[in-house]
Structure 1
Amino acid sequence: MKKITLLIALLFTGVLSFAQETEKEKAPGHYNISKFRQLKQELPTPNSYRTASGAPGHEYYQQKADYKMDIILDDDKQRIYGEEVITYYNNSPDDLEYLWVQLDQNIRAPDAKTNDVKAGGPASYYSPKKFTEEFLGKPFQGGFNIDYVKNTEDGDMTYTVNGTMMRIDLPAILKAGDKTSFKIKWWYNIPNHVIDGGRSGFEHFEKDGNNNYVIAQFFPRMAVYNDVEGWQNLQFLGRGEFALVFGDYEVNITTPEDHILDGTGVVTNRKEMLSSKQWKRYEQALTSYDEPVVIVTQEEAEENEKKVSKKTKTWKLKAENVRDFAFATSRKYILDGQAVKLGERTVMAISLYSKEGNPLWGEYSTRVVASTVKSYSAQMFDYPYHKAISVHAKRQGMEYPMICFNFGRPKPDGTYSERTRNGMIGVIIHEVGHNWFPMIVNSDERQWGWMDEGLNTFAQLLAEQDFEPGFPSRGYPKNVVDYMDGDQAKIAPIMTQHDNVFKSGPNAYSKPAAGLYILREVVLGHDLFDKAFMTYAQRWRFKHPTPADFFRTMEDASGTDLDWFWRGWFYTTDYNDIGVKDIKKYIVTEEPTEKAKKLAKRYGMTVDQLGKNLYLVEADANSTDAAASGGSVQDIATLNEYLSDNFSKEERNSLKDTKYFYEIIFEKPGGLVMPILAEITYADGSKENKYYPAEIWRFNDKEIKKIIGSEKEISSIVIDPNQLTADVNLENNSWPRKESESKFDSFKKEKITD
């Protein structure tokens, strides 16, 4: 009881302060505006499909779509011809009267609606071809050309094309639990992705007349039907990527005979497609765990470039439980591979690149793929597929199951800058990492770009540091400060449909990644965060999570209420700005303060009834009274006398030798609530880090006060010295302020001694 007496006295001061504030002029009533209120209105109501814990519910379902395709690549016309049979499984509890199919290539059709929704002035520059297409009436003749949609008995089916979506009317209701099959035949002109941009296409090399093909979105694909959106049939406008259904694929791809190809799934006839020497090298690569083995050499690729074969061959690929399919092919490709050990399994890291990528790609690509597979597997779950492929493609950075297309090209003489090297390494880690988000943890990219890009950019940061400590990663909080402190008219909350954000890079990539970094480094710590993040990934692998599933799982698995963080960081455009407003020094006295007297009067007590207590009184820098100018021997004698009267010798020996008392006033001009990271430097040069959780702002969103007792005199305080919280204004982060001498400075020469 004796030890509690001093605490009670100190509490009187705080209670009185609160009481005085409540006596101010009354404001009108209002709804709950606390930044710590629960996300009840923002998040959907839990149900049997998606639980309040963030896990799939006992009635969770997802549809399935299997594809059997025959594809012909026409290298002369740069054209794709395809026929497919889609088998669609209705695993939902709903009966369906029509199906929606995605026609993403229609974004390139001459009459595409997407061309009309884009606004803006002249581009920085135009290639002659692009200028002609844009302004002289000769647009690229892109988009799907549908030859037919038929049932499996060759009967025509009714369909309607709406931009990048096609509705197929079913002849009979597709009952819950049933399946249906239908056929589509199509063709389209492949765009030159170097000139026209986009996520796939070909690159032409004038010097040797050949093309490198990176092919994706090349077939009509089923749209997603689920418990959240019904049919996800938002138009493809170019930014919001893809919502896709898991399924099995059997794909036959016919190319020129001299091409080298790889793609999603197992190449079931790879031995037939390679020469005997190349096949032996491939078998060697299957057990080469230390370094890549070159399977198709640069010399062989250069020989292929010289002779254009008119013959063809058909590559056969088979994939199970993937959400998409892509491939790359060229007669120019070099192929190398390296084995990666994951537990009892071996995964192949593979690279495809033409000589234009060397020596950079031969030195780094496959090694980076191997490192990424190991790092992401440790973060989330072991990579479940048998291979991961990195393909060299100019001005590309795009991902698909088991394969990705990546930029990074040295100069013609083979030299490259550090920036080119780091850019290539970064994009390979990022795109290979997309195998986890969203290829396996299959979020709706059309709606929520951050759920794959942001989560992946965060995981990428950790993988980059695994590959090379000190690598210049982009997901750190300090890297989003300029964006968050920018023009509010040009900033959207992260929780905005991806086509409608102003700046996709910081909004969907950097800011979500920085937020997760803050959660890991500042709010939760590594152990809690890593377990929660892994729980989310494992709960939703090969399923379709929503933002609510992520938010709820992170809270459920960490045992931490994070609603304040999700609201501020994801649902608003608020920024963080926390500073040190003032520091006041206090002395100890037995005399009741004016605050204590008022408090006693408020509760009907006399001053005598307060009893024998200690009080903290603000030291007055301008006073001539020694006791009020920083403490004196008498003040400490009073404290020591009080302690002697109320504590035993053993108890006194266990107490801290506190000589200094400070009130630190923290201010928060920014809208975000955030923990306070305070680095305190003492007069003897020693430092101490103080951590105050975000909840410290619950009852005052503008400023809060903390009383600190210390053995040593404080010389300075810095907020967030390592820039871990994306604080947009560092000028108010330190005390004393550099620009002017503060009241605190006057105490530096005054020391309280025993």
Structure 2
Amino acid sequence: MKKCFIFVLAIGIATSASAQRMSSNPNYQANDQFEQLGTTLPTPNTYRTASGAPGKEYWQQRADYDIKAELDEENRRIIGTETITYTNHSPDDLRYIWLQLEQNLFKQDGVAGMSRTGSVNPNGMSTSQLASLNNGRGSKLDPNITYGYEIKAVKDKAGKALPYTINNTMMRIDLPAAMKPGTNLVFSVDWAYNITEYYGRSGFEHFPKDGNDAFFIAHWFPRMAPYDDVNGWNHKQFLGQGEFALNFGDYKVAITVPGDHILAASGECQNYNQVLTSTQKQRLKKAETSATPVIIVNQEEVEKAEKRENKNPGKKTWIFKATNVRDFAFASSRKFIWDAKQSDVYKNGRKIWCMSYYPKEGNPLWEQYSTRAVEHTLVSYSNRTFEYPYPVAISCHSVAGGGMEFPMISFNGGRPEPDGTYSEATKYGMIGVIIHEVGHNYFPMIVNSDERQWAWMDEGLNTFLQYLAEKEWDFNYPTRRGEPNQITDYMSSDPSMLSPIMSSAENVIGLGPNAYAKPAAALNILRETIMGRELFDHAFKEYSNRWMFKSPTPADFFRTMEDASGMDLDWFWKGWFYGTEPVDQDLVSVDWFSLDTQNPEIEKELARKADAERKNTISKLRDKETMNETVVAKDSTMADFYNSYDPFKVTSADRQKYEQYMASLSDTERELMTENTNFYTLSVKNKGGLVMPVIVKMVFEDGTDSVATYPAEIWRFNNQTISKVITTKKRVVQWTLDPYAQIADIDTENNSFPRIAKPTRFELFKQQQYKRPMNPMQMEGAGKAGDANSN
């Protein structure tokens, strides 16, 4: 309903606005959402500054490795020895050191297996489900095999045994004398373990059709645990969900595998001349200058190797060198097709090898897309962070599904059907996982965050960059994560199942939405709605460059984003990262006002229309049928002055009074009176609890529209309900909050005024046994076959 109000002096309006800020206002709701994080964040010091940058005394430990290992294919076993040079850059004396033993995840009596929960379904269970409950460690483990590390020896540089204690997935080595600051320790570990079936991070995949295996070997050697200024020794147990916290160092790795295997690994191969055929070396040379990927090992050669006609292929030792990396992984199989191109990613003459390794089961998808996706990832991520510093980036096709990342190499899913066809979801899922896992080279392989504690610092940031890279790959790319409206289902789910993003990775229910999707959506909102692209991109690049080859914490990220953008974002970190409340803004009502212009030509005409509306009742409409039967209608002597009087007629006295009033006004006041402005008061309720900007779309009666954006600080005096006055020259016929799905509002039904009903569609179907549908490629082929048969 339109309401009019009389113009008063400007000072009265200003006084009213000021009064709303006073705590005596009965509508005021005290809240701390816009107070600083304060002591929630650690106190800045000389190691980590208040600006979020590394301090002048920042330090980190270093671990260099010289590893010799052999893959025993027949027994699916790794046997190895390593020499570690550990350098103490800390200001502390170290009386003992800690190593990580992630393969102990699979020990029968380990903390991971013993803490696994589950129950028997009385209605029936699959054999794999039952096996998982039986061994407590997952259905893919052979109950007849002993898993976990066999530590054969731990010795100092002189070959003397060092005492050690194994605590589940951690091993403490006690030192004969404390390591002083600035010194290093050289020691060796001999070890072996049985390889598990691929479980998502590491293992082997068996191909029953040809009887061969593909090995994807990671967290395969005892690794130094980090010691830092934040936690001291970082020795949180590995329970399978939280990933890894690691040190930088140089690696020299010699891996012996069957002679007919092709091996891919972190770093640069030092002996291609010894392990490749002359034909393969020629193809690799061609790939140095080719604009498109060159096949180094082709499918025909792989299919011949799969038959294993050579019963004694012997062994080959592949030697790799990796500089300033935090980890090392490799993949090995006779099934690997290998393609590569050396790409001038930065157009500055410095070339980077982009490579892919995959079994024939991955084609035609992998040959067409993998290496190109690797190259695209380096271009896209570097534009937003820093130049990729390593000489190679590899995508290796593992078991269909997700992926796993390591320095310079990643294991990625995405497999077509056996007939070579694939769905759109398979294609884009494969490209997406390659972008994601190659992108992990930036976070956390270079910006070295602690994945065991803060999964979002690598998964969330990387998923956000993946989202941007996917859009740059294809404008219509069906992104799964990154858009605000893709996280609303999770944010509106049962609160008892939600954890803050700032939760330890091992304790989160729903790691995918919590550590990947929600922080990615939050960063997208920061970039598009809160900060704007220019400020966000500058701050994000600053964070990336500040913490290259260093180990940031969440506080370092939060502080840098604010420091480099000049924006106070504590309210945002509080709501999105420390809380679980959702966004739900409710446009409760809109009141429409206009100024009383006191112009009789305008005001009396408005009054006439309002009077006619009041009289437009059902009774009045029906009484028209008998209007000529009234007393006055039948007897004109019963009518007098008032029967013909028009109260809305403009008189000369009305005009004179108006002219005198206008003459008394200043030019500014006269202009305001004649603008015919509409004043709308919007009442908005924060039903979800998470404060966000208020974005309002106005559709005018002439069909045009306009959008107004009000910052989140609009809620700072009352985080529950607000009133906002919006003025327009044109009449608004429809109001909508968050019209472009920018703020992850979980309920859009209450975003419109007047309300717009949205139908819920349902399907009537006949119950039947599920059958996997054909993908569009298969349906197209079936259709062509049908057409041929009909001819």
Partner residue of 1:456 out of 454, 462, 470:
462
Q: By how many angstroms is 1:310 displaced? A: 4.0
- Name the structure 1 match of 2:472: 466
Between the aligned partners of 1:199 and 1:244, the Cα distance in structure 2 is 16
1:694 aligns with 2:712: yes
Alignment CA distance shift 1:6-1:221 (3 Å): farther
Partner residue of 1:316 out of 293, 314, 319:
319
Letter in 1 for 2:475: P
Between the aligned partners of 2:551 and 2:516, the Cα distance in structure 1 is 20
Letter in 1 for 2:316: K
- Name the structure 2 match of 1:297: 298
Between the aligned partners of 1:392 and 1:653, the Cα distance in structure 2 is 71
1:575 aligns with 2:582: yes
- Name the structure 2 match of 1:388: 393
1:481 aligns with 2:504: no
Q: By how many angstroms is 1:698 displaced? A: 0.4
The CA RMSD measured in Å over matched residues stands at 3.0
Q: List per-residue Cα deviations over 1:318-341 (Å, max 9, x = no partner).
A: 011000000111111100012222
Q: Return 183-192 or 128-137, whichever deviates more.
A: 128-137
- Given that residues 199 and 396 in structure 1 are in contact (C-alpha distance below 8 angstroms), is that contact kept between their aligned partners in structure 2? no
Alignment CA distance shift 1:710-1:129 (3 Å): closer
Q: By how many angstroms is 1:433 displaced? A: 0.5
1:508 aligns with 2:515: yes
- Name the structure 1 match of 2:570: 563
Q: Return 730-739 or 39-48, whichever deviates more.
A: 730-739
> What is the TM-score of this pair, normalised by structure 2?
0.84
- Name the structure 1 match of 2:554: 547
Letter in 2 for 1:177: G
Letter in 2 for 1:248: D
Between the aligned partners of 1:284 and 1:708, the Cα distance in structure 2 is 66
- Name the structure 1 match of 2:751: 733
Between the aligned partners of 2:655 and 2:329, the Cα distance in structure 1 is 77
Alignment CA distance shift 1:426-1:477 (3 Å): same
Alignment CA distance shift 1:475-1:24 (3 Å): closer
- Name the structure 2 match of 1:65: 63
Q: Return 109-118 or 443-452, whichever deviates more.
A: 109-118
- Given that residues 682 and 715 in structure 1 are in contact (C-alpha distance below 8 angstroms), is that contact kept between their aligned partners in structure 2? yes
- Name the structure 1 match of 2:45: 47
1:78-477 mapped onto 2 (5 Å cutoff):
78-121=76-119, 125-127=126-128, 130=131, 134=135, 138=143, 140-193=145-198, 197-289=199-291, 291-307=292-308, 308-341=311-344, 342-344=346-348, 345-394=350-399, 395-473=401-479, 474-477=481-484
Letter in 1 for 2:290: S
Q: List per-residue Cα deviations over 1:379-434 (Å, max 9, x = no partner).
A: 11111111110001014410000000001111111111111111111111100000
Q: Return 713-722 or 109-118, whichever deviates more.
A: 109-118
Q: List per-residue Cα deviations over 1:515-557 (Å, max 9, x = no partner).
A: 0000001000100000001111110010000000000000000
Alignment CA distance shift 1:633-1:532 (3 Å): farther
Q: By how many angstroms is 1:476 displaced? A: 1.1
Q: By how many angstroms is 1:272 displaced? A: 2.1
Q: By how many angstroms is 1:658 displaced? A: 4.1
Q: By how many angstroms is 1:26 displaced? A: 11
Letter in 1 for 2:460: G
Alignment CA distance shift 1:727-1:149 (3 Å): same
Q: By how many angstroms is 1:648 displaced? A: 4.5
Q: List per-residue Cα deviations over 1:2-45 (Å, max 9, x = no partner).
A: xx9954332344345666x8265999xxxx84210100021000
Alignment CA distance shift 1:102-1:26 (3 Å): closer
User: 2:471 is paired with a residue of what secondary structure?
Assistant: helix
Between the aligned partners of 2:674 and 2:441, the Cα distance in structure 1 is 55
Q: By how many angstroms is 1:711 displaced? A: 1.1
- Given that residues 31 and 718 in structure 2 are in contact (C-alpha distance below 8 angstroms), is that contact kept between their aligned partners in structure 1? no
Q: List per-residue Cα deviations over 1:35-89 (Å, max 9, x = no partner).
A: 1010002100000000000000000000000000001000111100000000000
Q: By how many angstroms is 1:134 displaced? A: 3.0
Q: By how many angstroms is 1:738 displaced? A: 3.1
Between the aligned partners of 1:716 and 1:574, the Cα distance in structure 2 is 29
- Given that residues 118 and 133 in structure 2 are in contact (C-alpha distance below 8 angstroms), is that contact kept between their aligned partners in structure 1? no
- Given that residues 132 and 138 in structure 1 are in contact (C-alpha distance below 8 angstroms), is that contact kept between their aligned partners in structure 2? no
Letter in 2 for 1:233: H
> What is the TM-score of this pair, normalised by structure 1?
0.88
Query: Which runs of no fewer than 5 residues in structure 2 stay unpaired?
Result: 1-6, 599-605, 615-647, 759-791
Q: List per-residue Cα deviations over 1:242-287 (Å, max 9, x = no partner).
A: 0000000000000111111111111011132111111111111112
User: 2:191 is paired with a residue of what secondary structure?
Assistant: strand
- Given that residues 658 and 709 in structure 1 are in contact (C-alpha distance below 8 angstroms), is that contact kept between their aligned partners in structure 2? no
User: 1:521 is paired with a residue of what secondary structure?
Assistant: helix
Query: Which runs of no fewer than 5 residues in structure 1 stay unpaired?
Result: 592-618, 741-754
Partner residue of 1:495 out of 502, 515, 522:
502
Q: How high is the sequence identity, in percent, across the aligned residues?
A: 49
Between the aligned partners of 1:639 and 1:444, the Cα distance in structure 2 is 74
The count of corresponding residues between Structure 1 and Structure 2 is 697
Between the aligned partners of 2:659 and 2:145, the Cα distance in structure 1 is 88
Q: By how many angstroms is 1:718 displaced? A: 0.5
Q: By how many angstroms is 1:182 displaced? A: 0.4
Q: By how many angstroms is 1:133 displaced? A: 6.5
Between the aligned partners of 1:667 and 1:512, the Cα distance in structure 2 is 25
User: 1:587 is paired with a residue of what secondary structure?
Assistant: strand
Letter in 2 for 1:279: K
Q: By how many angstroms is 1:586 displaced? A: 1.8
- Given that residues 110 and 140 in structure 1 are in contact (C-alpha distance below 8 angstroms), is that contact kept between their aligned partners in structure 2? no
Q: By how many angstroms is 1:585 displaced? A: 1.6
Larger of the two Rg values belongs to structure? 2
- Given that residues 148 and 184 in structure 1 are in contact (C-alpha distance below 8 angstroms), is that contact kept between their aligned partners in structure 2? yes
Between the aligned partners of 2:152 and 2:655, the Cα distance in structure 1 is 94
1:682 aligns with 2:685: no
